[in-house]
Structure formats: C-alpha cells, structure tokens
Amino acid sequence: MMKKFASNAEILEAAKAPGKQMLFFSADWCPDCRFIKPAMPEVEKDFADYNFIYVDRDDNIEVAQQMGVMGIPSFIAFEDGKEIGRFVNKDRKTKQEVEDFISSLA
C-alpha cells in the first residue's frame, strides 16, 4: 500500500530512510497519472522490496522543485538515503516501462 505524507519534511525524511524507497510524483488532474495509477498496486507487489511513497505534485511542489521533477508521472528511487535512479519526464508511462525502470536499478 502506497504511503502518503502530509508535509514536505515528512516526504524528504521518508526518502532518506534506510532501505529502498520509490517516490511516485503524481496529481489528481493529470491524465497520464490516471493512466498508470491502476497498475501501481501490481507494481508495488512485484517490487515489494521498495516502500512506495505517493507525492502529490501540487500539494508538495517544494519537494518536486527540489528534486527537479517538472513532468509527471515520475519516479525517483532511493536506497539508504541516496538517489539510485530516476524515471522523470512528462511522458505517459506504461506498467512495463515502470517495471523495466525499477528492474534496471538492481
């Protein structure tokens, strides 16, 4: 189950936590985000070694800006507090593309 934090500070703290974290930048109004959202529970199940964290681009614009996220949906992976990869652009992403990105991090 994807976690959602209210504050920017909580999101940044969660990204730095030990283990693997995957930030999923999205917004309710974004059609490409709505396209990938139904696939996310399965992606989370397939990559259970990651903690998935939902970041609302509008509610948490400071986090998005700080991490250089201009387009959504986007994904940034962290391991033990260090960024290990990003899939950040404004394009629609398929479940296969997201899973290929996460697999490439191993």
pLDDT computed for residue 6 by the predictor: 83
Confidence of residue 52 (pLDDT cuts 50, 70, 90): very high
For residue range 4-35, list pLDDT tens digits in order.
Answer: 998 999 999 999 999 999 999 999 999 999 99
pLDDT computed for residue 22 by the predictor: 98
For 86, the domain range is 3-104
CATH code, 40? 3.40.30.10
Based on the structure, what is the number of domains in the chain? 1
Residues with active-site annotation: 30, 33
pLDDT reading at 1 higher than 90 = no
With a CB cutoff of 8 Å and minimum separation 6, the contacts of 58 are 27, 29
Q: What is the pTM of this model?
A: 0.95
- ω before 73 within 30° of 0 (cis)? yes
- Measure the CA–CA gap between 67 and 76, rounded to whole angstroms: 9
